[in-house]
Chains A and B, each alone.
Chain A
């Protein structure tokens, strides 16, 4: 059994946990992050990647709207390589209540969100694919944010400042020392290794999974999981975030993201016991397609690449069990005060947009309890990759000889860190994933620096296999590179390939018709017909994965 002592433990590698780890590291507090799967693999990575201006919440929840616009401004500075400042539109359809338009303008003013009325013709000029029947349009400072990149950048910064990270490592038990939580016992799910970590403070940032975790320390924490489903369209059919101007409902938003567009979302209650098994239902797909088509008619001709869903971590505020006091806002719990268990705090609720604020609140409390650490600096210290504004034209010139598309994609994903990734050696910039222009050098960098332990992790760091072909060719190539760069044995690589394809399959199944079915037949033909991957038998070690 390995034993580690540190100052702070953060449980959960979503945006909030990663943000808390970074915040603590910036304050000079030694910290360890434990994540049961991969960074940004839970709720963080399962939303539409909308950098909210707050307008969506302005009418119903002014406090959330204010938090959003304030964080929106901060993130545009500290995380610029994770963000596209696309702007957003709120459009009213003929069937929508026209009075919401005025209400939204008014409430955006209360919240301090710039919201200007633009003509229908101007809106169609900005976003030509928009439904030409719209009655009116408002422009707001929405944008897009890549949750994988954002979370990974937070982790990378923390690690560069001395923090440690354990992914695919599950907390089995919170260890008590009398009336205090003194540490955690965890298990590496890939190797089976057991680790005990002790610290002065434990921050539970495990989101919806926090209910289970707290129970292991004898603390009751009640979550009200709500499922949100989304569809990914195979092309970037819009360049500006498009919102429907009405009381928030299903299928209201179409967000461009990298090479694709996303239609979101739905809202369905799910049983807590089922949070790890949720899938997208046919009626949700129908709703999303139908609503999406109303905003952008070409949705009907687009191919749906995949469907996925996340669980919103709504939490009961005061331990009440009837759900009346569910909050959609941020909840910070000092378990010493609430449950007489020292050394443990929970940060929950909130949204991706407010991850930094949540991290700041958690780190403030953690530092107060540790009687250590400096003031928060996360609102003005740029994340790795966003240190400096990088100019595309200058980068293309700097990397003369490397195809512009490769320079552009690497820059888009890694910002200023492009200099740690790309160099003028042909091996380095040879393409592995042609859909997303991922090079061998980018994969090598991710394997060595970004806590990548399998091909699914690699996909979150680089977008390999996320494009129109969903990894038909690059998955095998990636498996080969794990061996080449000593990141896995041959057996482990082959097993990862199975896991990656099975994971992709989960998101494709719900939308298996049309070209998605063609693509699947092709992929199955290659990986089973040609490769016989389904017939490979693994040694026990790899089987554990």
Chain B
């Protein structure tokens, strides 16, 4: 098979790139090993949350304008601040077409509430996490009810509420907790005490349960303006049912991320895949690229685990395989390598310097900043130093940034994916 572009990795970055390319009529294939990191994400898209001293960044684009100048190797610098903005709003437009609305606080970050009730600065959130009505109700110091299903083991409102109450932003805001019970649902053989967020999302996706749930939620909220719930309010029918539930209860229904799988992230994952497919993109799931053949400065083709030896060739390739967790980087006793093409990697030779002494270090873990070194066109080099001009590296595979410490993971994935697509399109024209 020959494509215009083959994208290795079907996460946030790979799919953003794939959509941008497929939109122009190019033939694009995305090869994905399995679930992407979106399934473990907050479902908000962070742009830049914290500066070098760990302080909150309030106006991320303003911040970036200066930041990219003094951090030329950072992925945002490789994209350029202008294209980062272009990428993010392009991304929002694409999700909107699939019924997932993303809201931002103009030029500013807004906060989303974490599972433990801490606040994280982010740029885009879904309608159940940030919008104008939520902002106004919050400013009016309206009462919040944190609700949960009895026996749901992946969220404990008490552990979040204690930290919210302590936060100055929540001073003078009354926060209560309450319980609701499952409607008569599902297979009686299954233990409801083992339901995961996806099981509950199915309940909320089923319209006939909504009225009963609405009554319960309204009662449990006992007069609050917000019902804050673990993020499990449906996937496929989220947009419609969330609205309906708000109408039925008269409450603002807010979502807080839970233990994985992340329903908020799965909504984005589904929307991206659906958008990519509707543009004619080919999504090859459950297969892993194991190697490729490079001749001169070009990657000619790649082979996959299930491909039975037949190669996939393309005019250009994108490597968006993620970091260690997703298998984009592999660590051995004393080195870090890139497993598909053995590309040149930035890391530390001394294993004891890969990590910080504490699990929660102030300065972050160095291994999060390792990755495949590229030039400003996102082109990597092979182990023996040859540049591969039709291969573009994007997302968490890239080095010189720390997604967690900076609060920049989503933004880097989206903007480098978009950047790669623009570079490919530029080269073709």
Q: Which A residues fall within an 8 A CB radius of B? A: 282, 426-427, 429-432, 440, 473, 476-477, 479-480, 483-484, 489-491, 493-494, 498, 501-502, 504-505, 509, 512-514, 517-518, 520-522, 524-537
Cα distance, A431 to B323, chains bound together (Å)? 31
- Among the stretches B86-94, B160-168, B420-428, the one at the interface with A is B160-168
Inter-chain pairs besides A473-B154, A476-B154, A514-B332, 9 sampled, C-beta below 8 Å: A429-B191, A483-B158, A490-B161, A502-B358, A513-B333, A513-B334, A524-B404, A525-B325, A529-B42
Known pairs A476-B259, A521-B323, A528-B404; A430 contacts B156 (CB<8 A): no
Q: Out of A440, A505, A518, which one reaches B153, CB within 8 Å?
A: A440
B326 to chain A, nearest CB (A): 9
B residues near A529, Cβ cutoff 8 Å: 42, 403-404, 409
Q: Is B3 an interface residue (CB 8 A)?
A: no
Taking a contact as CB atoms under 8 Å apart, the answer to whether A534 and B360 are in contact is yes
Taking a contact as CB atoms under 8 Å apart, the answer to whether B116 and A494 are in contact is yes
A residues near B368, Cβ cutoff 8 Å: 521, 524
Within 8 A of A (CB), among B339-361: 351-352, 354-355, 357-361
A479 to chain B, nearest CB (A): 6
Taking a contact as CB atoms under 8 Å apart, the answer to whether A532 and B114 are in contact is yes
- Could you write out 16 A-B pairs with CB less than 8 Å apart? A427-B151, A430-B153, A430-B194, A440-B193, A477-B259, A479-B156, A490-B159, A491-B162, A502-B359, A512-B355, A513-B334, A521-B324, A524-B365, A526-B259, A530-B41, A531-B116
Q: Out of A493, A509, A521, A528, which one reaches B159, CB within 8 Å?
A: A493
Known pairs A426-B191, A501-B359, A502-B360; A532 contacts B159 (CB<8 A): no
Cα distance, A291 to B323, chains bound together (Å)? 32
Taking a contact as CB atoms under 8 Å apart, the answer to whether A512 and B351 are in contact is yes
Q: Is B331 an interface residue (CB 8 A)?
A: yes
Which interface residue of A490, A501, A522 has the most chain B CB atoms within 10 A?
A: A490
Taking a contact as CB atoms under 8 Å apart, the answer to whether B116 and A536 are in contact is yes
Q: Out of A282, A426, A521, which one reaches B367, CB within 8 Å?
A: A521
Within 8 A of A (CB), among B127-176: 151, 153-156, 158-159, 161-163, 166
Chain B, 38-55, contact with A by CB distance < 8 Å: what is the 0/1 string? 001110000000000000
Q: Is B120 an interface residue (CB 8 A)?
A: yes
Q: Is B292 an interface residue (CB 8 A)?
A: no
Taking a contact as CB atoms under 8 Å apart, the answer to whether B192 and A426 are in contact is yes
Known pairs A480-B156, A531-B115; A513 contacts B360 (CB<8 A): no
Cα distance, A490 to B163, chains bound together (Å)? 9
A residues near B315, Cβ cutoff 8 Å: none
Taking a contact as CB atoms under 8 Å apart, the answer to whether B331 and A514 are in contact is yes
Taking a contact as CB atoms under 8 Å apart, the answer to whether A494 and B159 are in contact is yes
Taking a contact as CB atoms under 8 Å apart, the answer to whether A432 and B153 are in contact is yes
Rank and list the top 6 A-B pairs by shortest CB-CB distance, nearest first.
Answer: A430-B193, A480-B156, A534-B360, A532-B118, A505-B359, A490-B162
A residues near B331, Cβ cutoff 8 Å: 512-514, 517
Q: Is B80 an interface residue (CB 8 A)?
A: no
Taking a contact as CB atoms under 8 Å apart, the answer to whether B325 and A483 are in contact is no
Q: Is B99 an interface residue (CB 8 A)?
A: no
A367 to chain B, nearest CB (A): 47
Taking a contact as CB atoms under 8 Å apart, the answer to whether B153 and A477 are in contact is yes
Known pairs A490-B159, A505-B359; A532 contacts B116 (CB<8 A): yes
Name the CB-closest residue of B to A439.
B193
A442 to chain B, nearest CB (A): 13
A417 to chain B, nearest CB (A): 22
Taking a contact as CB atoms under 8 Å apart, the answer to whether A431 and B194 are in contact is yes
Q: Is B257 an interface residue (CB 8 A)?
A: yes
